[in-house]
Structure 1
Amino acid sequence: MITDYLSPTLLAGRTAFITGGGSGVNLAIAKAFAALGARVGICGRSAERLAVGRTALEALGAGVFTATADVRDAEAVQAAIDGCGAALGPISILVCGAAGNFIAPAEEISPKGFRTVVDIDLLGTFHATRAAFPQLRETRGSVLFVSGGQSFVPFAFQAHVGAAKAGIDNLMQNLALEWGRYGIRCNSIVPGPVKGTEGMKRLGGEAEPGLWDQMTPLGRMAEPEEIGQVAAFLVSPLASYVSGARLTVDGGQNLTGSSLFNAALARERTGARSAAR
């Protein structure tokens, strides 16, 4: 439990808003914030997931706001963020976590498919930061961008995601530069392979048992809570002089490159084609 290491009042009095916060890594981040005393707003496209997230966050004693919103819709994001501020108090922590992914060779990605991932990951991140800016300026707050190893390590069948994540990291640095004068800090967190998440399923995490353990120097996948702990540090006063940074939380996985992943996905695709004949 994060409170075994950090004060349960570390984020007391702060309001956090997390896009894509109804499940996976983003919900783990929300739980870490709630355990440390923050009020938490989450948005996402699934009302069912948001309801489950609300229950988990309220069980930790947090005040909670939820809004069903697609981050590709700027007006919906604005309404969600304005609603959160009105319900819980001005936002001082924004986490841009909504993301999309699928496996496809670059030559098979349709323009619509490529655009969908960029719209969710990159444009959705812009929508959230722009909508939250007035509140973040008021609170001298912090923005955490959820990036990915594809931003700086090429992975086969991930051209669309790599382009989107690289854009997120560049946007983070630009906003850290521009918004620093308002006291707003901006940083990226780069999760590695995380157990039990939708993202890992989409990345073929179950195609070859043990693949990600083999690719990771620490020999295991992360627990979602381990990403939440680092996120909490980055948005807390403990990191008050950290801005414009990209912190990789992957057990060293990206140090090994993507060759094993690339080979495993190629084998899976070859097998699927053979079975279809």
Structure 2
Amino acid sequence: MPYQSIYARGLFDGQTVIVTGGGSGLGRCTAHELAHLGANVVITGRTQDKLDAVVKEIRAEGGTASGLVCDIRDELAVQATVTSVIEQHGRIDALVNNAGGQYKSPLKDISTKGFEAVVRNNLTGGFTMMREVVTQWMAEHGGAIVNIIADMWHGWPGMGHSGAARGGMLTLTETAACEWAEYGIRVNALAPGGIASSGFDTYSEEDRAYFREQAVPVIPLRRFGTESEISAGVVYLLSPAASYVTGSCLRVDGGTPTWRGGWPLQGSDNTEAFRGFHLAKPPVVLEGTGYSV
């Protein structure tokens, strides 16, 4: 069974799309859907083996994909990667700024070096990717950019460094959308809430207990999201259907930031999850919990 996208095959025929952090999780899923829809997908990341595995998956299903090792924290590496994509494929039609990461810690325990590392990973690196695809290609040809941020609304206790970076990426998105409109470039953000992907399994056992016992009860739709629900949002923002959408942020979070405790949340699994990604596997942390995704 191929990817079960709701979008028409051929939607991105002839287009080249870069997906950073494409070796796993949301980036892997998004790369699969874009390739399924006809895009020539270039995935980047820090681990060659992961990139090779995803490229192999996509090619085995008839898609077009390639992988380039690139640490978005390294400015020279980003510049070289964008140059390489243009040299190899002759164009860059879209960028999905998905790469990032953080670790859990209270603010008082975060060193300045640690804070700066997370900001560089989730804000500065994304800025560098945006700037390079624009200066090297899109300023003369147009294009679309989607920046993946996070559910950091109303603060993000335990993830203050990442929340600061993601909030910065939101305002950067809005600024870029205004400044780059003259070039025919659209820039939007997408903010995932709790998404059941491989990222869940990178946290400690204490954090895993939180996912199992405390996270779902405060989600109005009473479930985690799926990787393909994020990818579908990305595809929309890159598609012609969103040609009048720029400087916006699409929240895909089950309504979590909206609930403030003033209304009792009842029931379970209040919507049926969209499961378009045929290779998706539930994270180990959710096994045996009864939570459907």
Which residue type is aligned with residue 158 of structure 1? M
CA distance in 2, matches of 1:76, 1:20: 14
Structure in which a larger fraction of residues adopt helix: 1
Which residue type is aligned with residue 11 of structure 1? F
- Quick one: structure 1 residues 233 and 148, their matched pair in 2 at CA, closer, same or farther if it must change by over 3 Å? same
1:210 deviation in Å? 4.2
1:241 deviation in Å? 0.7
1:142 deviation in Å? 0.2
CA distance in 2, matches of 1:26, 1:101: 16
1:257 deviation in Å? 5.3
Q: Secondary structure at the match of 1:166?
A: helix
Q: Which 4+ runs in 1 deviate beyond 4 A?
A: 1-4
Number of corresponding residues: 257
CA distance in 1, matches of 2:192, 2:207: 14
CA distance in 2, matches of 1:200, 1:188: 25
Structure 1: gaps of 5 or more residues: 259-277
Instruction: Name 2:124's counterpart in structure 1.
Output: 123
Instruction: Name 1:73's counterpart in structure 2.
Output: 74
1:120 deviation in Å? 0.7
Structure 2: gaps of 5 or more residues: 262-293
Pairing partner for 1:225 from 217, 223, 228: 228
Identity, % of aligned pairs?
Answer: 32
**Equivalent residues in 2 for 1:248-259, closer than 5 Å:** 248-256=251-259
Give the RMSD, CA atoms, in angstroms: 1.8
In the alignment, is residue 213 of structure 1 matched against residue 216 of structure 2?
A: yes
CA distance in 1, matches of 2:181, 2:203: 36
Instruction: Name 1:268's counterpart in structure 2.
Output: none
CA distance in 2, matches of 1:202, 1:43: 23
CA distance in 2, matches of 1:205, 1:231: 28
Deviations 1:235-254 (A, max 9, x none): 01111110000000011122
In the alignment, is residue 239 of structure 1 matched against residue 242 of structure 2?
A: yes
Deviations 1:75-131 (A, max 9, x none): 111111221222223011101111121110000001111011001111101110111
CA distance in 1, matches of 2:146, 2:120: 18
Instruction: Name 2:30's counterpart in structure 1.
Output: 29
Instruction: Name 2:182's counterpart in structure 1.
Output: 181
Instruction: Name 2:147's counterpart in structure 1.
Output: 145
TM-score (structure 1 length as normaliser): 0.87
CA distance in 2, matches of 1:200, 1:180: 39
Residues 91 and 136 of structure 1 are in contact (CA less than 8 Å); yes or no, is this contact kept in structure 2? yes
Deviations 1:132-160 (A, max 9, x none): 1132223310000001111x221211110
Instruction: Name 2:99's counterpart in structure 1.
Output: 98
Residues 141 and 183 of structure 2 are in contact (CA less than 8 Å); yes or no, is this contact kept in structure 1? no
Which residue type is aligned with residue 257 of structure 2? N
Residues 25 and 227 of structure 1 are in contact (CA less than 8 Å); yes or no, is this contact kept in structure 2? yes
Which residue type is aligned with residue 121 of structure 1? N
